[in-house]
């Protein structure tokens, strides 16, 4: 996907373009190895680079090199699979963890309502399978319904949630069926959803689905367990079918203790809007709420990117892009995970040294750098490492195994520090809705870190003291969330501060320098506490007010101290990964690749390709660079080029005439001038002209249709039969 975009740049020969697909793996590798040395030459295509390079290499060693590259590729693939598996399983665990409490709640509610249904009486088999209802009282038709608010308009994230819920309930002994909105369509009617219900319970398909079948099936199951029917999203269900379903279930609820669970994506008004009152009134609803998507997102980010998980990381720009995509575009966790996966794939694809990540995952603590393990010559490895721009910046003159290992462990150490500080900041801001994703973006910003390094301590203090609205200057805006967190610490009461410090202490266990400071603060706090408790004993009730004042001051000074500590942590230890040498191995930074893979922008692509088709076709007949329209060009392309001259309405007649003139122009005029003196053949000519007229019309129509299919044009309407309407303007 992404490489093909680059491949669109002109290759040197046509042959090369043909074989391009076959050699792709090789030349991607070439690109990986070559990229660093040729970093400055950004505009040139890859194929050309390859050709430039090949003469330099001795011919016999080329094969050897290729083999090695291949081996390295497989190494990287292995590493990718390993890393992604780790990330994926972490995400799954996190999501499951988030839902457990709600699931537990739902399960206990299910059993409770089952008990309520059972208290109305347990019918025996002949009674349960009889067609007429068991009459007890008016409440016996109530259908217990759990409304699960998913808190997200998009539904994709929750498909998995409901599946998990089904599994959870099944494990607790319930009979569970998962229905989706596809089962509630007007076309299939109620038979469709009953059929899928029976299919899931009875494990067999029946041609006549009937709820009495379910009753006799339930009778054979000993009546001990509740029957749970989960409907994914009621917004998408057909209202009439759903209400029929509810009416039917509620008629049978004493005989088959069905408990309904419905997912509601928007608000509680949704069931009211969809269902008629007679169905609504049969429901006995109970509301459950899943975590909001932002919370889930934070949990995922924390587990995957902040806590040590796989070693893979994303750069600031990528993080910002992903955050913006989440907030303003899609809003689903699914797409976030997908973009993370794309980033991960691209990273391993492009980064020759990325296979190191695998061992990063394997041995978390005592990770040692051994080159020999990878079966690569150290020279190649050093070369790669040396080519990394971040390493060059440090200006190490000579790369040795020791220096490389040292640099890597250094990277790891500062990463750990960064992690600890970010977690501390997150814990601080948790109560005040500081989103980890925002914090992550900010903490990962290399520019603001560099600026911070230059800034003096006092300046930072000033930022945090001044309220967010009064802050001025572009440099201060970046650290908004961090400043807020620091600001928050100041205002904490002693008790809260104590709790927070405890958390900090836990988080910073690995980093001595910070941990010592935190412990100092804690002991200070203890002394303070002791003082205040002593004061409690001494101070008489008269002085109550003054004592409180004093206490507040105490805690304030402590808060100031804590805030200062946090500031120092941010300044000294929160070093973004992009500021550390060798970070390219672990960190994906290429936003453009990610964007083109994720969003694509297909319509623009189509327009560009239609206008500049030479780049794709590479035909010899069309002169590159000239704007003149030639009859040998592709019809649709000619048409679209012609359409550029019109406004939003295109007169079909004019368009056709200009198309015809382009198609016929050079050849026919020549012919006419030559052949007109021969009267004998005139008839033939007329005929052929007629034929060509017809074929031109056919070509015209086809081109118009193609433009319509690609969404660039709208066909003439009845209102304006002579005009086609342009839909897309500009690029």
Partner 1 sequence: MAKVESPQVTRRTTRSCSASNDAIESTKPIEPYKPTLNDLGFRQQPLSFEDLLSCLPGRRTQVLELLGLLGPVNSPMFPILVYGGPSTGKTSVTLQVFRHLNRPFVYSSCVTCYSPRILFESILNQLLFHRKNSGNSYSSIKRCEKPSDFVNYLREALESVIKNLKGNSGKLSSEVSGQPKGTMIYLVFDNLERVRKWDKSSTILPFLFNLFDILKMPEVGLIFISNTSPDTYYFNMGFVEPIPLCFPDYTEDDLRQIFMANQTNRKLYSSFFGVVLRPFCRVTRRVDELSAVFSSLFKKYSQPLSDMGVAPNEDMKRRLFSHLQPHIASALNETFQSPSRPLLKDEANRETKKKCSSRMSTIHEDFDKIDFHMSTSAKYLLISAFLASRNPATLDASLFDSTGVSDSRKRKRKPSEKSLEQKEMTELELLMKGPGTFPLERLLAIFQCITSLAEDSLDEEESHELTIEGGSSGLMSDVLLQLSSLCNANFIIKGGSCPLDGSTRYRTAVSEDLALKVARSLKFPLSKYLYRR
Q: Binders of partner 1 among 433-452, rule CB under 8 A?
A: 433, 441
In this chain, which of 8, 120, 247, 630 binds partner 1, going by CB under 8 A? 247
Q: Is the CB of 294 or the CB of 562 nearer to partner 1?
A: 294
91 and 304 Cβ atoms separated by less than 8 Å: yes
Cα 498 from Cα 487, distance rounded (Å): 17
In the complex, minimum distance from the CB of residue 721 to partner 1, in angstroms, rounded to a whole number: 11
Sign of CA dihedral 592, 586, 444, 580: negative
In this chain, which of 19, 54, 122, 267 binds partner 1, going by CB under 8 A? 267
From 16-24, 85-93, 217-225, 418-426, span contacting partner 1 (CB under 8 A): 217-225
From 287-295, 346-354, 633-641, 670-678, span contacting partner 1 (CB under 8 A): 287-295
Asked if 248 interacts with partner 1 (CB under 8 A), we say: yes
Asked if 323 interacts with partner 1 (CB under 8 A), we say: yes
Asked if 151 interacts with partner 1 (CB under 8 A), we say: yes
143 and 250 Cβ atoms separated by less than 8 Å: yes
CB count within 10 Å of CB 214 equals 23
Task: Draw the binding track, 477-516, toward partner 1 (x: CB under 8 A; -: no contact).
Answer: x---------------------------------------
CA angle 671–677–683, rounded 5-degree value:
75
Cα 612 from Cα 606, distance rounded (Å): 10
Rule CB under 8 A: which of 567-626 touch partner 1?
599, 601
Q: Is the CB of 204 or the CB of 540 nearer to partner 1?
A: 204
Q: How far is CA 200 from CA 60, 254, 440, in A?
A: 64, 21, 44
77 and 40 Cβ atoms separated by less than 8 Å: no
Strand partners, 143: 283
In the complex, minimum distance from the CB of residue 227 to partner 1, in angstroms, rounded to a whole number: 16
CA angle 560–566–571, rounded 5-degree value:
125
Strand partners, 286: 146
Choose among 259, 212, 221, 214: nearest CA to 116: 259
Q: Is the CB of 395 or the CB of 718 nearer to partner 1?
A: 718
Asked if 731 interacts with partner 1 (CB under 8 A), we say: no
- SS3 call for 144: strand
| Look-up of token digits 């003196």 | 677
From 204-212, 382-390, 519-527, 561-569, span contacting partner 1 (CB under 8 A): 204-212
Q: Is the CB of 361 or the CB of 724 nearer to partner 1?
A: 724
Cα 372 from Cα 363, distance rounded (Å): 17
HEC letters along 211-232:
HHHHHHHHHHCCCCCCEEEEEC
Asked if 236 interacts with partner 1 (CB under 8 A), we say: yes
In this chain, which of 12, 24, 281, 688 binds partner 1, going by CB under 8 A? 281
Choose among 317, 367, 357, 395: nearest CA to 585: 357
β 713-714/723-726 pair status: antiparallel
Q: Is the CB of 290 or the CB of 380 nearer to partner 1?
A: 290
In this chain, which of 6, 54, 329, 669 binds partner 1, going by CB under 8 A? 329
Asked if 192 interacts with partner 1 (CB under 8 A), we say: no
In the complex, minimum distance from the CB of residue 158 to partner 1, in angstroms, rounded to a whole number: 11
Rule CB under 8 A: which of 48-107 touch partner 1?
105
The residues, ordered by sequence, that sit 6+ positions from 397 with a Cβ below 8 Å of its Cβ are none
Asked if 649 interacts with partner 1 (CB under 8 A), we say: no
Q: Is the CB of 45 or the CB of 239 nearer to partner 1?
A: 239
Asked if 473 interacts with partner 1 (CB under 8 A), we say: no
Q: Is the CB of 348 or the CB of 449 nearer to partner 1?
A: 449
497 and 562 Cβ atoms separated by less than 8 Å: yes
Asked if 328 interacts with partner 1 (CB under 8 A), we say: yes
Asked if 112 interacts with partner 1 (CB under 8 A), we say: no
Strand partners, 285: 145
Q: Is the CB of 179 or the CB of 309 nearer to partner 1?
A: 179
Cα 731 from Cα 728, distance rounded (Å): 8
Rule CB under 8 A: which of 517-546 touch partner 1?
none
From 286-294, 489-497, 565-573, 656-664, span contacting partner 1 (CB under 8 A): 286-294
From 130-138, 513-521, 611-619, 633-641, span contacting partner 1 (CB under 8 A): 130-138
294 and 262 Cβ atoms separated by less than 8 Å: no
Q: Is the CB of 104 or the CB of 666 nearer to partner 1?
A: 104
Structure token pair of residue 114: 């089952």
Backbone torsion region of residue 316, taken as left when φ is above 0, otherwise alpha when ψ lies between -120 and 50, otherwise beta = alpha
Asked if 338 interacts with partner 1 (CB under 8 A), we say: no
Q: Is the CB of 191 or the CB of 666 nearer to partner 1?
A: 191
In the complex, minimum distance from the CB of residue 192 to partner 1, in angstroms, rounded to a whole number: 11
Strand partners, 148: 263, 288
Rule CB under 8 A: which of 18-37 touch partner 1?
none
In this chain, which of 171, 186, 292, 701 binds partner 1, going by CB under 8 A? 292
Asked if 294 interacts with partner 1 (CB under 8 A), we say: yes
In the complex, minimum distance from the CB of residue 520 to partner 1, in angstroms, rounded to a whole number: 29
In the complex, minimum distance from the CB of residue 717 to partner 1, in angstroms, rounded to a whole number: 4
Cα 297 from Cα 316, distance rounded (Å): 17
Asked if 283 interacts with partner 1 (CB under 8 A), we say: yes
Asked if 627 interacts with partner 1 (CB under 8 A), we say: no
In this chain, which of 33, 188, 200, 212 binds partner 1, going by CB under 8 A? 212
Q: Is the CB of 169 or the CB of 441 nearer to partner 1?
A: 441
In this chain, which of 265, 422, 476, 594 binds partner 1, going by CB under 8 A? 265
Sign of CA dihedral 654, 660, 665, 670: negative
- Residue-wise over 370-404: b if at least 16 C-beta within 10 A, else e? ebeebebeeebbbebbebbebbeeeeeeebeeebb
Asked if 274 interacts with partner 1 (CB under 8 A), we say: yes
From 33-41, 152-160, 409-417, 520-528, span contacting partner 1 (CB under 8 A): 152-160
Q: Which letter does DSSP use for residue 572 in this model?
A: I
How many residues bind partner 1, per CB under 8 A?
88
In the complex, minimum distance from the CB of residue 160 to partner 1, in angstroms, rounded to a whole number: 16
Residue 603: exposure state from Cβ atoms within 10 A (0-12, 13-18, ≥19): middle
In this chain, which of 285, 308, 498, 510 binds partner 1, going by CB under 8 A? 285
The residues, ordered by sequence, that sit 6+ positions from 182 with a Cβ below 8 Å of its Cβ are none
Q: Is the CB of 52 or the CB of 154 nearer to partner 1?
A: 154
Q: Which letter does DSSP use for residue 11 in this model?
A: P
Q: Is the CB of 191 or the CB of 495 nearer to partner 1?
A: 191
The residues, ordered by sequence, that sit 6+ positions from 79 with a Cβ below 8 Å of its Cβ are 348, 354, 355, 356, 357, 358
37 and 383 Cβ atoms separated by less than 8 Å: no
Rule CB under 8 A: which of 353-412 touch partner 1?
none
In this chain, which of 244, 427, 560, 572 binds partner 1, going by CB under 8 A? 244
In this chain, which of 25, 191, 389, 495 binds partner 1, going by CB under 8 A? 191
Asked if 717 interacts with partner 1 (CB under 8 A), we say: yes
Asked if 196 interacts with partner 1 (CB under 8 A), we say: no
- Residue-wise over 109-147: b if at least 16 C-beta within 10 A, else e? bbbebbeebeebeebeeeebbeeeeeeeeeebbbbbbbb
In this chain, which of 81, 163, 210, 693 binds partner 1, going by CB under 8 A? 210
Q: Is the CB of 204 or the CB of 397 nearer to partner 1?
A: 204
Choose among 437, 454, 463: nearest CA to 316: 437
């Amino acid at each position: 996907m992404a490489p093909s975009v680059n491949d669109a740049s002109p290759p040197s020969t046509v042959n090369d373009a043909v074989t391009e697909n076959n050699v792709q793996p090789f030349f991607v590798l070439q690109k990986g190895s070559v990229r660093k040395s040729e970093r400055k030459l950004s505009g040139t295509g890859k194929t050309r680079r390859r050709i430039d390079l090949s003469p330099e290499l001795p011919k016999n060693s080329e094969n050897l090199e290729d083999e090695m590259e291949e081996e390295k590729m497989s190494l990287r693939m292995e590493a990718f699979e390993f890393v992604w598996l780790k990330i994926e399983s972490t995400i799954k665990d996190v999501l499951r963890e988030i839902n457990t409490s709600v699931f537990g709640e739902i399960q206990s509610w299910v059993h409770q309502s089952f008990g309520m249904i059972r208290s109305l009486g347990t019918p025996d088999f002949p009674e349960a399978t009889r067609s007429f209802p068991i009459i007890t009282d008016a409440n016996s038709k109530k259908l217990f319904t759990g409304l699960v608010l998913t808190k997200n308009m998009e539904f994709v994230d929750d498909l998995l949630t409901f599946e998990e819920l089904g599994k959870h309930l099944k494990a607790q002994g319930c009979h569970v069926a998962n229905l989706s909105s596809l089962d509630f369509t007007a076309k299939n009617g109620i038979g469709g959803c009953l059929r899928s219900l029976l299919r899931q319970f009875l494990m067999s398909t029946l041609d006549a689905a009937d709820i009495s079948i379910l009753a006799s099936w339930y009778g054979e199951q000993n009546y001990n367990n509740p029957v749970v029917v989960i409907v994914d999203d009621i917004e998408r269900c057909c209202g009439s079918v759903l209400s029929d379903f509810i009416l039917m279930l509620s008629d049978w609820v004493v005989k088959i203790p069905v408990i309904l669970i419905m997912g509601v994506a928007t608000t509680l008004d949704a069931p009211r809007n969809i269902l008629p009152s007679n169905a609504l009134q049969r429901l006995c609803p109970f509301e459950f709420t899943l975590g909001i998507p932002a919370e889930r997102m934070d949990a995922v980010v924390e587990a995957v990117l902040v806590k040590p998980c796989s070693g893979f990381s994303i750069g600031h720009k990528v993080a910002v892009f992903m955050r913006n995509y989440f907030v303003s575009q899609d809003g689903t966790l699914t797409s976030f995970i997908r973009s993370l996966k794309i980033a991960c794939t691209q990273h391993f694809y492009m980064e020759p040294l990325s296979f190191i990540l695998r061992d990063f995952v394997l041995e978390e603590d005592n990770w040692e750098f051994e080159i020999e393990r990878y079966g690569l010559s150290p020279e190649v490895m050093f070369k790669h490492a040396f080519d990394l721009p971040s390493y060059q910046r440090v200006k190490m003159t000579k790369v040795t195994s020791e220096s490389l290992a040292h640099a890597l462990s250094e990277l790891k150490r500062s990463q750990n520090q960064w992690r600890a500080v970010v977690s501390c900041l997150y814990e601080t801001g948790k109560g005040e809705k500081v989103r980890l994703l925002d914090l992550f973006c900010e903490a990962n910003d290399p520019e603001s870190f560099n600026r911070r390094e230059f800034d003096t301590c006092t300046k930072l203090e000033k930022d945090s003291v001044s309220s967010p609205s009064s802050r001025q200057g572009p440099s201060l805006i970046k650290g908004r969330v961090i400043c807020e967190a620091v600001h928050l610490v100041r205002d904490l009461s002693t008790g809260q501060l104590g709790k927070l410090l405890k958390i900090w202490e836990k988080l910073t266990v690995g980093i001595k320098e910070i941990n010592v400071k935190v412990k100092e603060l804690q002991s200070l706090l203890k002394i303070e506490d002791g003082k205040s408790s002593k004061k409690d004993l001494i101070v008489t009730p008269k002085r109550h007010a003054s004592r409180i004042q004093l206490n507040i001051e105490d805690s304030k000074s402590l808060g100031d101290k804590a805030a200062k500590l946090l500031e120092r942590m941010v300044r000294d230890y929160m070093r973004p990964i992009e500021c550390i040498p060798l970070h390219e191995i672990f960190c994906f930074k290429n936003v453009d690749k990610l964007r083109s893979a994720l969003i694509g922008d297909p319509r623009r692509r189509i327009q560009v390709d239609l206008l500049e088709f030479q780049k794709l076709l590479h035909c010899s007949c069309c002169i590159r660079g000239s704007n003149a329209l030639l009859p040998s060009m592709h019809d649709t392309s000619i048409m679209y080029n012609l359409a550029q001259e019109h406004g939003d309405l295109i007169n079909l007649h004019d368009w056709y005439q200009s198309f015809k003139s382009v198609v016929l122009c050079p050849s026919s005029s020549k012919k006419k001038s030559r052949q007109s003196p021969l009267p004998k053949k005139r008839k033939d000519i007329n005929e052929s002209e007629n034929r060509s007229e017809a074929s031109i019309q056919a070509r015209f129509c086809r081109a118009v249709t193609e433009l319509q299919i690609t969404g660039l044009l709208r066909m003439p309407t009845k209102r304006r039969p002579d005009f086609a309407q342009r839909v897309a303007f500009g690029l």
